A and B are shown apart, each in its own frame.
Chain A
Amino acid sequence: MAPAAPRQRPAWAAALARRLAVTAAVLGGLWGLWEGYRWLWSTEGWTRPFVVDYLTMPHIHEMFQRLLEPSRSEGPLLIGLLLKSAAFTAREALAGFALGALIGFTIGVVLHHSLFLQRGLLPFIVASQTVPILAIAPMVVIWLGGKGLPVWVPVAVIAAYLTFFPVTINTLRGLGSADPRALELMRSYAASPWKVLWKVKVPASLPYVFTALKVSATASVVGAIIGELPSGIQDGLGGAILNFNQYYSLEPASLWATNIVAAALGIAFFGAVVGAEKLVVRRAPEHVG
C-alpha cells in the first residue's frame, strides 16, 4: 500500500499528474520507437520492408522543425499556412458532419418506423459505402459547382456522404433498444408515436448515436480531404497534401508536417464529440472486467 498522501493535494490533481505522466511516457515511447527503428535500420542497412533514409523516414524533430520554417523561400511560416488550410477543411468537415448527422438520424428514424423500407433500403445503404467516394468526388464537385454554389459546398456533401452511414445504423439500433417496459408505460398513457419517439426512444438511442458520431467525426474530416483532392481546391489540407506530395523528393518533411496537422484536426473533431457526449449522455459505464 502507498503511504498516506499529504492531505493538502486534492485527488483530481494527482489523477491529472498521473495522466500527464502516462501521456509523456507513451509519446516518448512512440518517439523512441520511430527513432530507434530508423537508427537500427539505417546502420544495419536493412531494406525490408522498405529502405530507411532521410526520404522515407525523416527525423521527428525535423518534421516539427519544418512547421516553424517558412513554406517557401520567404513568406509565412508553414505552420501558419497549414493551420489556415486546416481551418478551411474544418469548415467543410463541420458542415458535412452536421448535414450527415442530421440526414443519418432522419433516415434512421424513418427506417425504424417502416419495416418494409428497412428491409428494402438497408442493403443499399450498406452498399452505398462501398462506392469509392474518391471516384465520385469530381462529379459531385462539377455538378454542384455548376449550380453556382461556393466550392466548399460539394466537399461538404462528400463529407456528409461518409458521415451519415454510421449515424443511420446506430440510430436504428438505438431506437430499438428502448426498454420495453418504458414503452408499455407510454402505451398506458395512450401516447402518440411522436411523443413516444421523443420521450423514450430518442433518449435511449443517445449512447448509440454518440458512438456513431465519434466515428463520423473522423469520417467527416476524411471526406472533406478526399473531396478536395480531385477537385482542384487549393485552399484546404487536401490541396496541401497533393502539393507537398509532388515535391516530396525535395522536401519530405513538409508532407509529414501536413500529416501532423491533419491528424491534429481529426483528433480535435473527435475530442469535441467526446466532450459533447460527456455533457449530453450520462450513463453507467460499460463493465470493464
Chain B
Amino acid sequence: MKGLGARALKEWLPPAALFVVAVVGWQQAVNVFDIQRFLLPRPTAIFASWHEQWGELWSAGWYTFQEALWGFAVGCGAGIAVALVLARWRPLGTALMPYAIAANAVPIIAFAPIANAWFGIDQGSKIAIAAVLCFFPVMINVLRGLTSVHPSSLELMRSYAAGNFAVFRKVRVPNSLPYLFSSLKVASVLAMIGAIVGEYFGGALTSLGIQIKSAAALFNFETAWAAIIVACILGIAFYLAVSLAEKLAMRIYPARGAQ
C-alpha cells in the first residue's frame, strides 16, 4: 500500500502544485496588470458567479453532456462497425481509406448549420455533429489496428487453416484494441466540443453553448467563464472515464511507453 501511495503522490503532486501556482498567479496578474474583466475575470469573481448559478450551470452542463455522450456512442459505434466491414472486405477498405482520411480533413464546422437545418435546433442536431466528429478518427484508427497485423501472425493462422472469422476474432480484434482506445480518447474530447459548437449555431436556452453565448452578450463575463469551466470539467471527466476504461481493458497488454 505504501508504494501505491508514494506513486500516486508522485503523479499527482506536480500538476496539483502547478494548478495552485497558476490560480494564484492568475489572481495576482489580473490585479497587477489590470486586465479588463471581460477578458479574464478574477478567479474569485468566477467562483462567486459559479456559486450563485450552480444549479443552472450544471443542468445546462448535463443537457449538453448528454448530447456529447449520445454523439460519442453513435459516432464511435458506427466507426467501429464500418472499420470491421472494411477490414473484412479489403479491396473496399483500401479503395475507401484515402477518402476517409480526406473526409477527416474536412472542417466539420461547416456541417453544423446544415445539421441544424436537418434536425432542428434541439438535441438531435448536436448529437449528429458530435457523431460525425467522432466517426472518422475512430474508423480510421480501428481500421489501421485491424489491418496492421504482423505477417507472421497471419502465417501462423494460415498454418492452422483458420477461417477469416477466426482470424478476426483471435488476432485482428485484440491487435486493434490499443488503436481503438487512443482514438476513443480523442473522440471523447471532440464529442463535447462538437455539441457546444452545434449549440452556438442555434440551441436550447438550457444548453451550455447558449449559456456561454448569452452571458457573453450580456457582458456577464464571470458567468460566461464559469460556464466555460463547467464545459472543461465535463470534457476532462469524459476523457478520464475513457482513460480508465482503457487501463482496465488493456491490463493484459505489455506496458507501452509513457502516454
Direct contact of A and B (CB under 8 A): yes
Contact present for A135 and B212 (CB under 8 Å): yes
Q: Closest CB-CB distance, B139 to chain A, in whole Å?
A: 15
CB-contact partner of B257 in A117, A173, A245, A252, under 8 A: A173
CB-CB nearest in chain A for B111: A259
Q: Closest CB-CB distance, A32 to chain B, in whole Å?
A: 14
Within 8 A of A (CB), among B233-250: 234-236, 239
Contact present for B102 and A262 (CB under 8 Å): no
Contact present for B257 and A132 (CB under 8 Å): no
Number of interface residues of B (CB under 8 A): 60
Q: How far is the CA of A159 from the CA of B144 in the complex (A)?
A: 28
Q: Which of B8-16, B43-51, B52-60, B76-84 contacts A (4 or more CB under 8 A)?
A: B8-16
CB-contact partner of A218 in B39, B96, B104, B228, under 8 A: B104
Q: How far is the CA of A30 from the CA of B9 in the complex (A)?
A: 54
- In this assembly, does B169 line the interface, its C-beta being within 8 Å of a C-beta of chain A? no
Q: How large is the interface on A (under 10, 10 to 19, 20 to 34, 35 or more residues)?
A: 35 or more
Q: Which of A73-81, A100-108, A196-204, A219-227 contacts B (4 or more CB under 8 A)?
A: A219-227
Contact present for B201 and A132 (CB under 8 Å): no
Q: How far is the CA of A252 from the CA of B18 in the complex (A)?
A: 50
CB-CB nearest in chain B for A242: B113
Q: Is the interface of B mostly helix, strand, loop or mixed?
A: helix
Q: How far is the CA of A218 from the CA of B111 in the complex (A)?
A: 14
CB-CB nearest in chain B for A30: B99
Contact present for B110 and A258 (CB under 8 Å): yes
Residues of A within 8 A of B193 (CB): 130, 132-133
Q: A124-B18, A225-B110, A248-B113 are in contact. Are A130 and B105 (CB under 8 A)?
A: no
Which of A's residues lie within 8 Å of B, judged by CB? 22, 25-26, 49-50, 55-56, 116-124, 126-127, 129-136, 138-139, 142-143, 172-173, 176-177, 214, 217-218, 221-222, 225-226, 229-230, 237, 241, 245, 248, 252, 255-256, 258-259, 262-263, 265-267, 269-270, 286-289
